[in-house]
Amino acid sequence: MSIDNNWFHEMEARIPKGEIRTRFAPSPTGYMHVGNLRTALYTWLIARHGGGKFLLRIEDTDQGRLVEGAVDVIYATMRRCGLTWDEGPDVGGPVGPYIQTQRRDLYGKYAQLLIERGHAYRCFCTEERLAQLRQDDPNAKYDRHCLSLTPEEIQAKLEAGEPYVIRQRIPEGTTTFHDAVYGDITVDNAELDDQILIKSDGLPTYNFANVIDDHLMGITHVVRGAEYLSSAPKYNLLYEAFGWDIPTYVHCSSVMFSDPATGTVRKMSKRHGDPSYEDLVAQGYLSHAVVNYVALLGWAPHGDIAEQEFFTMDELVRAFEIEGISKSPSAFDMDKLNYFNAAYLRGLSPEDFAREAQPWIRQAVKNEAYDAAAIAALLQARCDKLSDIPEKVDFFDALPDYGPELFTNKKSKTDAQVSLRMLQETVPVLEGLAQWSQDAIHGALVALAERLEVKNATLMWPLRIAAAGKAVTPGGAVELCRILGKDETLRRVALGMEKLR
């Protein structure tokens, strides 16, 4: 393959300059786990804080692990979290395409350029030979068997149609790279393997494609997990082999998870069943609460806002600085997430909370006669996550089978005898109401308690138990009766009196 230098010059001329450019480059191999979401968020924040561009690129070269529909999940997750992109597969841009398999023709040209410059070589070793090497030593690096092939031997193998991969040729010596979080790191090149750049099917490996794409897309800051620190020297060597500027590396420490089943603390992983972003949403967490919490998993604000916990997206953009990223692993704490989510739920307007809560209410309250918005009004201050809702409101559709002991409450000064009397006195008052409104019900019951010379709680407790069949309910007797309606309330009060007799 002859080198067309004009083509390479044209590719260089397309690269945007003079601005911060970051990218999130997920593989469509499943759902967005928390570590991926944090990487996407930090990458987005760096671009937005610096007034630059944020790119979305789909890295789908690992064809064997692709999951159908995963790209749509990526789009939906990013949008739900407020992580808008300036360039990407669906919006275009000056350096597209933004899907790796649609760029496959260019990777081979850059690999050929490396071969011409002596920084890469073709490897014709069979899987059987490589397996034998690993059998002898599972940790063995490739033995560079094909590096010694003569040009004539290589040409003969090519003419015979033998399959091959292209490997990076690691030079002798050491490689030093700088990371914005971890500082300068020096690695002995003898520890590095001659990694595969182009697979036998012509597709690039992740390690090669992301370097090529990052350069050609003008990426200035590369954000990824600390597990990629060991690959950074190879990336550096590729940049140097091409004579390209090296982007700012930002490696983020691991997110750790305390496994409730074993008590062990380990790196968070979907393989272990740890919650992904989609899992958290399915469990009733708000996207903004998750994003706010994830932002603080390994980053902290400085200065006057060092103690601030709750941030809008605009506030995060203003506050986020790379210097605030920690080297220390962070702990994912479900209790802390509950704290954030509860605060976000309380902060919603009643209309927004009702909209979020309605699907969860309707899981348990199928009867459309019961106003979901009215039920939601009882719940906003009483749930930490939306998935708490169905269990709290299931009594609306079906009164649970409860025992008369619930009517006894020391604080309300009620027992079975007192409760029966209160319900008996309540029935004609409720039956006589011309208007079934909260104010009307409340006024009538308060007046009744005053006439009976009992505290409001002594009257309200038996009525609430009869209405809900539960000791703990969202809202008190008045609210529950108003939502249930007059006929259903009186029916349930009658059932309660039967239990007490």
For 344, counting Cβ atoms within 10 Å of its Cβ (0-12 exposed, 13-18 middle, 19+ buried), the class is: buried
Cα 276 to Cα 124: distance, rounded to the nearest angstrom: 40
Cα 462 to Cα 408: distance, rounded to the nearest angstrom: 8
Helix (H) or strand (E) holding 359: helix 350-364
Cα 134 to Cα 139: distance, rounded to the nearest angstrom: 7
**Token pair listed for 479:** 């609210």
**Token pair listed for 174:** 């050491």
Within 10 A of 411 (CB to CB), how many other CB atoms are there?
Answer: 8
- The amino acid sitting at 154 is I
Helices (H), 31-102: 34-49, 70-80
Which residue is listed with tokens 């210097």? 323
For 187, counting Cβ atoms within 10 Å of its Cβ (0-12 exposed, 13-18 middle, 19+ buried), the class is: middle
Cα 437 to Cα 419: distance, rounded to the nearest angstrom: 24
Cα 196 to Cα 161: distance, rounded to the nearest angstrom: 19
**Token pair listed for 336:** 């802390």
Cα 288 to Cα 343: distance, rounded to the nearest angstrom: 11
Pair 407, 416: CB distance under 8 Å: yes
Pair 59, 101: CB distance under 8 Å: no
CA distances to 211, 274, 281 from 351, in Å = 47, 32, 20
Active site positions, annotated:
270
* CA torsion angle 71 74 77 82 (round to 10): -120
**Beta-sheet pairing, 165-168 with 120-123:** antiparallel
Which residue is listed with tokens 């593989």? 27
Helices (H), 383-452: 389-393, 416-431, 438-452
**Token pair listed for 45:** 């924040």
Cα 160 to Cα 155: distance, rounded to the nearest angstrom: 9
Which residue is listed with tokens 């350029």? 113
Under DSSP, the state recorded for 100 is: G
Strand order in 255-258's β-sheet?
265-267, 255-258, 330-332
Pair 484, 398: CB distance under 8 Å: no
**Token pair listed for 413:** 């000064």
